[in-house]
């Protein structure tokens, strides 16, 4: 019978070489992947915003046109009021103009004051009741 050779311990499998980087290389690749993912997400969100703005363009144009027509109607109202005051109340053109412009400025000032109060109320810092 053939003599059996004594069992010798087998060499351990080779450890990952230092040049392939192991964990460090995987971590750097993860960082690169996350960065590419975030950039892709940002491009997607930007494209979605631009698409929604493009779709809303007609609505925005209609709102602006409506605002301009309303503004011109208000100016026509003020001019008509000026003519009525001058003719019916028999006021001088200067006095009728002063009355119409003064009234319009008072109304505008009141509206601005209300808007400022609302903005202050919305932006005030509120403290919690339990904080002392």
For 8-34, b where at least 16 C-beta lie within 10 A, e where not — what string?
eeeeeeeeeeeeeeeeeeeeeeeeeee
Lowest mean pLDDT among 5-9, 24-28, 76-80: 5-9
- pTM for this one? 0.49
Q: In this predicted structure, what is the pLDDT of residue 127? A: 76
Q: What are the extents of the domains in the chain?
A: 23-122
Q: Are 76 and 100 in contact (CB under 8 A)?
A: no
Checking if the pLDDT of 5 tops 80, the result is no
Per-residue model confidence as pLDDT tens digits over 42-59: 999 999 999 998 888 888
Task: Give the pLDDT band of residue 14 (cuts 50, 70, 90).
Answer: low
CA–CA distance, 115 with 123 (Å, rounded to integer)? 12
Q: Are 102 and 91 in contact (CB under 8 A)?
A: no
């Amino acid at each position: 019978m053939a003599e059996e050779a004594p069992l010798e311990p087998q060499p351990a499998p080779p450890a990952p070489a230092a040049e392939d980087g192991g964990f460090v290389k995987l971590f750097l690749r993860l960082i690169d992947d996350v960065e590419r993912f975030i950039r892709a997400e940002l491009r997607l969100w930007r494209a979605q915003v631009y698409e929604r703005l493009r779709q809303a363009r007609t609505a925005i144009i209609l709102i602006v046109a409506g605002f301009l027509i309303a503004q011109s109607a208000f100016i026509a109202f003020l001019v008509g009021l000026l003519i009525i005051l001058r003719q019916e109340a028999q006021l001088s053109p200067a006095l009728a103009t002063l009355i119409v412009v003064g009234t319009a400025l008072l109304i505008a000032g009141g509206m601005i004051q209300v808007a400022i109060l609302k903005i202050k109320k919305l932006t005030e810092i509120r403290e919690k009741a339990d904080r002392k």
